[in-house]
C-alpha cells in the first residue's frame, strides 16, 4: 500500500510541500476506515447468510420481513445493537471490561491487512505475512481473557478459561500444519505463496519443480493435460496435504469457537461464555470479530491450500461446468421434486464439465487474458478468492447447524492426542517428500 500512496504523492501537485509522512498517515487512516467498514458490512452479511443457511437446514424460512427475502435484516440487527443500552456490571473491572471488545476486534481486524485478496493487491504486503497473521490472530485470546475476568461473572470466567485453554492448545497443530505447508511454499509472503504457482503445474521461485507423485503421471504422459486446480498446494503431495488441510480446518473451527468446538460460549452450559455480560455495541464487536475471524482463517486456508485468487478451471472448463450442470438439472427436473436431488444433479453436471475442461488441454485460465483487459484480473482474482474463502465459511456454518458440541476434555484429547501427533507425522512426511522431489 505504501507504493500506492507514494505514487499518489508524486502525482498530486498540491501535496508537494508536505513531508511524505503526513499523506502516508492520512492514507493509512482512510484505508483502515474502508477496511473496518468493509469488515462490518461483510460480517453483517455473514450473519444474514448464517441465518439463512441455518433456516434452510432446519426447515424454516429464516429472516424474511426486512427487505426482499429479509436481505436487510442484518442492517436492522446492527441498528438495534447500536441503540441498545450499553450496560456495565456494577462489580466489573470497568477499564478492562470496556477495553476487551476492542482488543478482540483489533486482533481479527489486523489480520485482514495482510490477506492477499487479489493479484498484486492486499492492504499491506508483508514479507512475513503468515507469521504476522498467526501472531495477531492469537492476540484475540487476550481480549477474551480480559472480557471474562473483567465481567466478574462466573459464567464469563468459565468461558474465558475454556477459550484460553482451547485457543492456545489448538495453536500447536495449526502451527505445525502451517509449518508443513511453508516447507512446500518456501516463503512467508502470502503474495508470493500464490504468485509462484504456475497453472501448468509448476512452481516458479519455490523449491518444487513440476508436479510430484502421482499427478506427474498425467502431466508427463499426456500433453493435452491442463493442471488448473491440480497445481494448488493441496494437491502437492496427495494424502499428506489433504490431511494437513483437514487438520487445519478442524483447528480453524476450534480457534474461531465454532461448533463443534463452541465450548467457550456454549449456550446450554455457560449461558453465553465470555460475552455473557456484554450488550449493545460492545457485544456486537465480539460478534463481528467472530465472523471476521472465520473469514481470516478461511482466507489462510484458501491461500495455503486452495490457490488463493487463482481460477480453478481453464476457460473451457468454466464455460462447460455451468452448461453441463444446467443440462443435467433440466433432465432431472421433471423426474424429482426433491431439491437435494436436483442440486446433486447440478453438481454432477458441473463436475463433468470441469473434467471435460481438464481433458481439453486448454491452457487459458484468466478471462482477463482472453479478453485482453489486464485490470479485469483484479476483479476475477477477487471473485475467486472470496468464493473459495466463503465456501469454507459456509461449510463452517453447515457444520454448526448439524452436529453437537464436544466436551472440554474431549476437545483437549482431540487436540493433544490426535491432531498434534498427526500434524507432526504429517510435517515429517511432507519434509521427506519435499527433500526427495526438490
Partner 1 sequence: MPGIKTQEILVNMGPQHPSTHGVLRLVIKTDGELVTEVTPIVGYLHRCAEKIGENVTYDQWIPYTDRMDYIAAMGNNLGISLAVEKLLGMEAPPRAQVIRVLVCELNRVASHLIAFGTFGLDVGAFTPFLYAWREREMILNLFEMLCGARMTFNYIRIGGISFDIDQKFIDKTKEFIEWFEPRIKEYNDLLTYNRIFVERTAKIGIISPERAISYGLTGPNLRASGVNFDVRKDFPYCGYEKYQFNIPLGRDVPEIGAVTGDCWNRYYVRIEEMIESIKIIKQTLENIPAGEYYDAPKKIKPKAGEVYTRIENARGIVGFYIISDGSEKPVRAKVRAPSFINLSILPEIGKNVLVADLIAILGSIDIVLGEIDR
User: Residue numbers of the site for partner 1 (CB under 8 A)?
Assistant: 54, 57-60, 154-155, 158, 162, 259-260, 262-263, 266-271, 401-410
Closer residue to partner 1, CB minimum distance, 158 or 235? 158
Closer residue to partner 1, CB minimum distance, 220 or 402? 402
> Shortest distance, CB of residue 271 to partner 1, whole angstroms?
6
> How would DSSP label each residue in 102-116?
HHHHHHHHHHHTT--
Closer residue to partner 1, CB minimum distance, 7 or 154? 154
CA 182 to chain centroid, in Å, comes to 18
> How would DSSP label each residue in 309-373?
TS-SS-HHHHHHHHHHHHHHHHHHHTT---HHHHHHHHHHHHHHHHHHHHHHT-----HHHHHT-
> Shortest distance, CB of residue 341 to partner 1, whole angstroms?
16
The CA distance from 81 to 109, in Å, is 20
> Shortest distance, CB of residue 56 to partner 1, whole angstroms?
11
Closer residue to partner 1, CB minimum distance, 93 or 200? 93
**For residues 318-343, b (16+ Cβ closer than 10 Å) or e, as one string?**
bebbeebbeebbeebeeeeeeeeebe
User: Per DSSP, which regions of 10-135 are E strands?
Assistant: none
> Shortest distance, CB of residue 408 to partner 1, whole angstroms?
5
> Shortest distance, CB of residue 342 to partner 1, whole angstroms?
20
> Shortest distance, CB of residue 368 to partner 1, whole angstroms?
42
> Shortest distance, CB of residue 420 to partner 1, whole angstroms?
19
Name which of 182, 178, 218 is nearest 201 in CA terms: 218
Place of cell 498484486: 120
Closer residue to partner 1, CB minimum distance, 162 or 191? 162
8 A C-beta contact, residue 189 and residue 434? no
Closer residue to partner 1, CB minimum distance, 112 or 406? 406
> Shortest distance, CB of residue 339 to partner 1, whole angstroms?
16
Closer residue to partner 1, CB minimum distance, 53 or 195? 53
Residue 190 CB: number of other CB atoms within 10 A?
26
**For residues 391-428, b (16+ Cβ closer than 10 Å) or e, as one string?**
ebbeebbebbeeeebbebeebbebbeeebbebbeebbe
Closer residue to partner 1, CB minimum distance, 72 or 412? 412
Closer residue to partner 1, CB minimum distance, 54 or 142? 54
8 A C-beta contact, residue 1 and residue 31? yes
Closer residue to partner 1, CB minimum distance, 169 or 196? 169
CA dihedral 170, 174, 175, 177 (to 10 degrees): 140
CA dihedral 35, 40, 45, 46 (to 10 degrees): 90
> Shortest distance, CB of residue 406 to partner 1, whole angstroms?
6
> Shortest distance, CB of residue 288 to partner 1, whole angstroms?
22
8 A C-beta contact, residue 53 and residue 397? yes
Q: CB under 8 Å to 316, separation ≥6 — which residues? A: 356, 357, 360, 362
Amino acid at each position: 500500500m505504501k507504493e500506492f500512496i507514494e505514487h499518489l504523492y508524486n502525482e498530486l501537485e498540491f501535496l508537494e510541500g508536505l513531508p511524505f509522512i503526513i499523506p502516508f498517515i492520512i492514507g493509512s487512516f482512510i484505508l483502515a476506515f474502508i477496511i473496518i467498514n468493509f469488515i462490518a458490512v461483510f460480517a453483517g452479511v455473514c450473519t444474514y447468510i448464517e441465518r439463512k443457511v441455518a433456516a434452510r437446514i432446519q426447515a424454516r424460512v429464516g429472516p424474511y420481513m426486512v427487505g426482499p427475502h429479509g436481505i436487510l435484516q442484518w442492517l436492522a440487527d446492527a441498528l438495534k445493537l447500536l441503540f441498545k443500552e450499553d450496560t456495565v456490571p456494577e462489580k466489573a473491572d470497568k477499564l478492562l471490561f470496556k477495553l476487551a471488545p476492542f482488543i478482540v476486534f483489533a486482533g481479527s481486524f489486523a489480520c485482514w491487512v495482510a490477506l492477499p485478496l487479489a493479484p498484486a493487491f492486499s492492504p499491506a504486503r508483508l514479507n512475513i505475512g503468515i507469521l504476522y497473521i498467526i501472531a495477531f490472530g492469537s492476540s484475540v485470546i487476550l481480549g477474551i481473557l480480559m472480557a471474562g475476568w473483567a465481567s466478574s461473572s462466573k459464567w464469563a470466567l468459565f468461558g474465558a478459561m475454556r477459550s484460553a485453554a482451547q485457543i492456545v492448545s489448538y495453536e500447536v497443530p495449526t502451527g505445525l500444519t502451517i509449518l508443513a505447508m511453508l516447507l512446500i511454499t518456501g516463503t512467508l509472503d502470502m503474495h508470493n505463496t500464490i504468485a509462484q504457482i504456475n497453472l501448468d503445474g509448476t512452481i516458479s521461485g519455490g523449491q518444487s519443480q513440476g508436479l510430484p507423485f502421482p499427478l506427474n503421471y498425467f502431466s508427463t504422459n499426456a500433453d493435452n493435460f491442463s493442471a488448473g486446480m491440480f497445481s494448488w498446494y493441496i494437491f502437492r503431495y496427495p494424502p499428506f496435504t489433504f490431511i494437513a488441510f483437514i487438520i487445519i480446518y478442524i483447528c480453524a473451527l476450534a480457534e474461531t469457537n465454532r461448533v463443534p468446538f463452541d465450548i467457550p460460549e456454549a449456550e446450554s452450559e455457560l449461558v453465553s461464555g465470555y460475552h455473557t455480560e456484554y450488550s449493545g455495541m460492545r457485544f456486537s464487536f465480539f460478534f463481528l470479530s467472530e465472523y471476521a475471524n472465520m473469514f481470516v482463517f478461511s482466507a489462510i486456508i484458501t491461500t495455503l491450500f486452495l490457490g488463493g485468487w487463482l481460477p480453478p478451471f481453464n476457460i473451457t472448463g468454466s464455460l462447460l461446468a455451468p452448461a453441463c450442470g444446467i443440462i443435467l438439472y433440466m433432465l432431472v427436473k421433471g423426474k424429482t421434486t426433491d431439491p437435494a436431488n436436483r442440486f446433486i444433479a447440478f453438481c454432477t453436471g458441473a463436475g463433468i464439465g470441469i473434467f471435460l475442461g481438464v481433458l481439453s488441454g486448454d491452457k487459458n485460465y484468466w478471462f482477463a487474458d482472453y479478453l485482453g483487459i489486464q485490470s479485469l484480473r483484479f476483479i476475477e482474482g477477487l471473485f475467486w478468492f472470496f468464493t473459495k474463502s466463503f465456501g469454507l465459511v459456509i461449510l463452517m456454518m453447515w457444520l454448526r447447524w448439524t452436529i453437537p458440541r464436544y466436551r472440554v476434555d474431549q476437545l483437549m484429547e482431540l487436540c493433544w492426542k490426535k491432531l498434534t501427533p498427526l500434524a507432526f507425522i504429517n510435517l515429517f512426511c511432507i519434509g521427506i517428500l519435499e527433500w526427495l522431489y526438490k
